[in-house]
Amino acid sequence: MKTFNRALELPKNFKRMFWIQALMNFKLLNTIISIFYAHRGLSLREIFLLGVVFAITNLLFEIPSSYAADKWGRKKTIAVAVVFLLLSSVCDYFAHSFLFFVMDLACYALSYSFMTGTDDALIYDTARELGQEKNSAKELGNYYSAQRFFKIVTPLMAVAIASGMLEWQFKTIIVIEFVTTMAALPFVWRIVEPVHKMEVEKVEAGIILDAWNLIRNDWDLIRMILNRTIMFTASFLIWRIHQEYFLSIGVPVWTLGIMWALLHLALYVGNRKIDGILPRFSAEQKINALNTIFVLGAIAFTIFAFEGANKWLLIASFSIFTVAETARWSLFSDLFNKRSKSYNRATTLSLTNLLKSFFDVPLALGAAAIVAFGPPYVFLFVTTIAVAIAIFMPVKKTRV
């Protein structure tokens, strides 16, 4: 019988977490999710309302999930996240009504709540126990690259399987997602629980007070958080209906698959090379430059949508602002980590997720109301918000 050796097994947490993240993000359905919703009878308004369900569920469980990570351990909490993702796939398989999809998005949001923060903490605590705390940023970077690992090919797989947009094809995709998510569980079972260096319960118990202190004493940090979250939400709301919109203007579904495969490849490579891009620019300058590219791309996309421009111009402008927004994430992560130590890092990440959920609700409700006039009006709505954030809330130089 093989003897457990903690010294040998603990360093394997990094690879195990990589594969857990990669398998949980296999997500074939995401490439055609709005098409799937429409196939199952949802309107564009209901698609946006599902975003509200996700945001409210995440808002309610952001703090309880952190308590769970502290009380049960990171490993068990991640296992719960995988189980909720499996339940989401089950709901996808059977859902043919808005209320059933509400259950689906609630399960998906619970998976997100239990996973986010817990995964970072596990990797961070593992690095600390191994005496490799200085390498934690590198390990986190490798971990987040797992989100793109399968997505370089899954968009092409999705459109190949669902080429006819038939019910059995969608169900095949859902079954594949269920199996790949199940494949993450053996990696979860083999995680070695690291020694906890941060008492998450104490951190989260004072999060409201900490949030107030951050707002009162560190407006630059709040500006940074708002810039990241609101710009992301603006991009996400366009993403929410872009598939159905592109199909409505004659873009073949296989074109969407190729587009997303190339976008994920660009993001995978770009995130790993972000330090070498404009090396004389600070992280703040890079973020503001990407914000400018995002805004220009979103403005072009909106104008092209109203003018009924060539579909290739729409695809090009959509690709530009999508890559620009997503490329900011690792830069923001670097700034947040440099700005704070253990206690403030947890508070900052929790506050970021809470603020995102707070803004997701009214913005998604606004989009749900505006979409009745047509998708281009949603694009105009969120682009206007993005322009305002870029102008009035640029990221300022971090005082470390």
What pLDDT was estimated at residue 201? Answer: 47
Tokens representing 316 are 């090009």
Contact criterion met (CB below 8 Å) for 274 and 352: no
Cα gap 264→279, rounded to integer Å: 23
Cα gap 75→188, rounded to integer Å: 7
Q: If you average pLDDT over residues 181-187, what whole number do you get?
A: 95
Nearest to 320 by CA among 223, 238, 226: 238
For 19, phi then psi, to 5°, come to -75, -30
Nearest to 48 by CA among 202, 245, 206: 245
Contact criterion met (CB below 8 Å) for 354 and 214: no
Residue with the larger pLDDT of the pair 62 and 212: 62
pTM: predicted TM-score of the whole model, two decimal places: 0.80
Angle between helix axes 253-272 and 311-326 (nearest 10 degrees) is 30
Nearest to 224 by CA among 291, 312, 146: 291
Q: If you average pLDDT over residues 101-107, what whole number do you get?
A: 95
What pLDDT was estimated at residue 185? Answer: 94
DSSP per position, 58-119: HHHHHHHHHHHHHHH-HHHHHHHHHHHHHHHHHHHHH--SHHHHHHHHHHHHHHHHHHTTHH
What's the chain's average pLDDT?
83
Give the confidence band of 198 by pLDDT, cuts at 50, 70, 90: very low
- How far is CA 207 from each of CA 125, 201, 345, 360, rounded to the nearest angstrom? 21, 10, 12, 20
What pLDDT was estimated at residue 343? Answer: 46
Give the least confident one: 3-12, 52-61, 148-157, 198-207.
198-207
Tokens representing 174 are 């859902």
For 103, phi then psi, to 5°, come to -60, -40
Kindly tell me if the per-residue pLDDT of 344 is higher than 50: no
Cβ contacts of 381-388, under 8 Å, gap ≥ 24: 382/233, 382/234, 382/235, 382/237, 382/238, 382/298, 383/234, 383/295, 383/298, 383/299, 383/301, 383/302, 385/230, 385/234, 386/230, 386/231, 386/234, 386/235, 386/294, 386/295, 386/298, 387/295, 387/299
Nearest to 262 by CA among 157, 173, 160, 156: 156
Cα gap 171→156, rounded to integer Å: 17
| Radius of gyration of the chain, Cα coordinates, nearest whole angstrom | 21
Nearest to 305 by CA among 239, 242, 364: 242
Give the confidence band of 221 by pLDDT, cuts at 50, 70, 90: confident
Cα gap 383→33, rounded to integer Å: 22
Kindly tell me if the per-residue pLDDT of 347 is higher than 70: no
Residue with the larger pLDDT of the pair 60 and 62: 60
Q: CB 347: neighbour CB atoms within 10 A?
A: 20
